[in-house]
Structures are given as structure tokens and as C-alpha cells.
């Protein structure tokens, strides 16, 4: 599977061919943009190649058209991965260095993606109605709040490393207070339902001084 930025040689083999055979390639990017790379015959026209640069992650379509002898159309879909370690566009509350320090060891190679997902979880399930000071980028401005969020997402990634990413576990957190909010996870008389949250995530939020953040209603709880 190619990554963003890779230059590859697209290749089409033509079974029946002669001097009348001609081949064109139409390249459709994930956003719908279309280009026509230069196609070159190889082995007297038995093979046709074209240089292709994948400039964006997503699914690309290569449409080959053969005219003359061997006429026909062939479509090929190519899945292109983001550049390894590339950051997404959303808020991420910890770096891979922060995670390495929290783990006291080398982080996994997919650490950036896990930190992004943990940050999304923090935003949607814990911070949706929280009140705290932010900058123009939406990131917390007080260092104690930023440190709490950092520790929370690192704890969640560490938790996923122990139990599996977003795996239901037994014995979920049954009660914890964050400011004026009491968290109770699970369902039923014994409250033994699934939990996706690391206990240390909750503790990291609890340690943020209350004068710097106020939790109101917690989404999903």
C-alpha cells in the first residue's frame, strides 16, 4: 500500500497488441480531481507504464483506455495511506514524546493515531460542556489544565495498550467525582456494563484545580 507522496510506476499489460494499439490513463484523486499522466509503451507495446504521484490519502482510481488492437477499458482502485506519523487536523492534547514519558518506554508506532483518538474521546465524552480558558486554537491556556488533558489522553492510550483498543472490559468505574459531576459507568443492579475509559484518565481530570475548570453535564454518562 503506497503512502502519501510516493512516486510509483503504474503498469498495464496488454494481451493482444500491434502498431495500432494506443493506451491512455486517467487518474482520479480522492477529491475528484482528474489528471492524465504520460503513458509509455514497453516491450513493443505489451506493457504500458505511467508515473503516478499520490498527493493525498484516500482511494484513487486509475482508468486505462486501450484503443486499436486489444481495445478495452480497465479500472484499478488504489488505497493510499497518510504519511506515517502525520498529525490530523483536530486538537491533540499530548505528543508522542509525552506518551513515551508516561509509559517510561518506547511508544507504539501508531502512537499518533491513538493520541488523536484519545483526544477525540476526551472532547466528546468529558469536555463537551466543560468550561475552561482556551486560545485561538481551542487548546487550554492554563498549564495545569493542559497537563491534566495531556495525562488523561496518555492514560487512555496506555489503557488501550493493556486491554485492547476500545475493548469492553469487566468491572468498569462505578463512581468518581469530577468537580460537581459524579461519574457512574455500567448498567444493571451490579453495574457490570462495559467501560471504554481508563481509570487514570478520570483521576487526571480530578487533579486539575477546580478554579481552572468547571465540569457541568458529562456527555455519554
pLDDT for 98 equals: 95
Q: How far out from the chain centre does Cα 103 lie?
A: 21
- The length of the chain, given as a count of residues: 221
pLDDT for 89 equals: 67
> Ramachandran region of residue 46, left (φ > 0), alpha (ψ -120 to 50) or beta?
alpha
pLDDT for 196 equals: 74
Instruction: Determine whether domain 7-80 maps to CATH 2.60.34.10.
Output: no
SS3 content of the chain, % helix, strand, coil (to 5): 25, 25, 50
pLDDT for 129 equals: 84
Segments in the chain below pLDDT 70: 85-89, 165-195, 216-221
- In this structure, are residues 211 and 142 in contact, taking their beta carbons and an 8 Å threshold? no
pLDDT for 165 equals: 66
Q: What is the pLDDT of residues 139-174, one digit of tens each?
A: 999 999 999 999 999 999 999 998 776 554 434 444
Q: Delimit the CATH 2.60.40.10 region(s) of the chain.
A: 7-80
Whole-angstrom distance, CA of residue 102 vs CA of residue 155:
8
Whole-angstrom distance, CA of residue 215 vs CA of residue 76:
51
Contacts of 151 (CB under 8 A, 6+ apart): 102, 200, 204, 207
Whole-angstrom distance, CA of residue 150 vs CA of residue 24:
51
pLDDT for 174 equals: 46
Whole-angstrom distance, CA of residue 183 vs CA of residue 158:
21
Contacts of 203 (CB under 8 A, 6+ apart): 155, 176
Residues paired with residue 181 on neighbouring β-strands, in sequence order? 178
**pTM to 2 decimal places:** 0.61
Residues paired with residue 47 on neighbouring β-strands, in sequence order? 13, 42
Whole-angstrom distance, CA of residue 105 vs CA of residue 139:
27
pLDDT for 176 equals: 47
Amino acid at each position: 500500500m503506497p503512502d502519501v507522496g510516493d512516486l510509483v510506476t503504474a503498469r498495464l499489460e496488454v494481451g493482444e497488441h500491434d502498431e495500432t494499439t494506443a493506451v491512455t490513463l486517467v487518474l482520479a484523486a480522492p477529491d475528484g480531481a482528474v489528471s492524465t499522466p504520460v503513458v509509455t509503451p514497453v516491450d513493443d507495446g505489451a506493457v504500458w507504464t505511467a508515473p503516478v504521484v499520490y498527493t493525498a490519502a484516500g482511494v484513487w482510481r486509475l482508468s486505462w483506455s486501450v484503443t486499436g488492437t486489444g481495445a478495452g477499458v480497465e479500472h484499478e482502485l488504489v488505497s493510499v495511506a497518510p504519511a506515517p506519523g502525520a498529525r490530523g487536523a483536530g486538537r491533540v492534547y499530548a505528543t508522542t514524546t509525552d506518551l513515551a514519558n508516561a509509559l517510561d518506554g518506547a511508544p507504539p508506532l501508531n502512537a499518533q493515531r491513538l493520541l488523536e483518538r484519545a483526544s477525540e474521546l476526551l472532547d466528546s465524552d468529558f469536555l463537551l460542556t466543560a468550561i475552561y480558558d482556551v486560545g485561538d486554537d481551542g487548546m487550554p491556556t492554563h498549564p495545569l489544565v493542559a497537563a491534566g488533558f495531556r495525562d488523561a489522553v496518555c492514560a487512555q492510550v496506555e489503557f488501550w495498550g493493556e486491554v485492547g483498543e476500545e475493548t469492553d472490559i469487566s468491572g468498569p468505574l462505578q463512581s468518581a467525582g469530577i468537580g460537581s459531576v459524579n461519574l457512574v459507568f455500567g448498567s444493571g443492579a451490579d453495574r457490570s456494563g462495559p467501560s471504554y475509559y481508563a481509570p487514570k484518565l478520570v483521576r487526571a481530570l480530578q487533579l486539575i484545580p477546580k478554579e481552572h475548570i468547571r465540569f457541568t453535564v458529562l456527555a455519554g454518562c
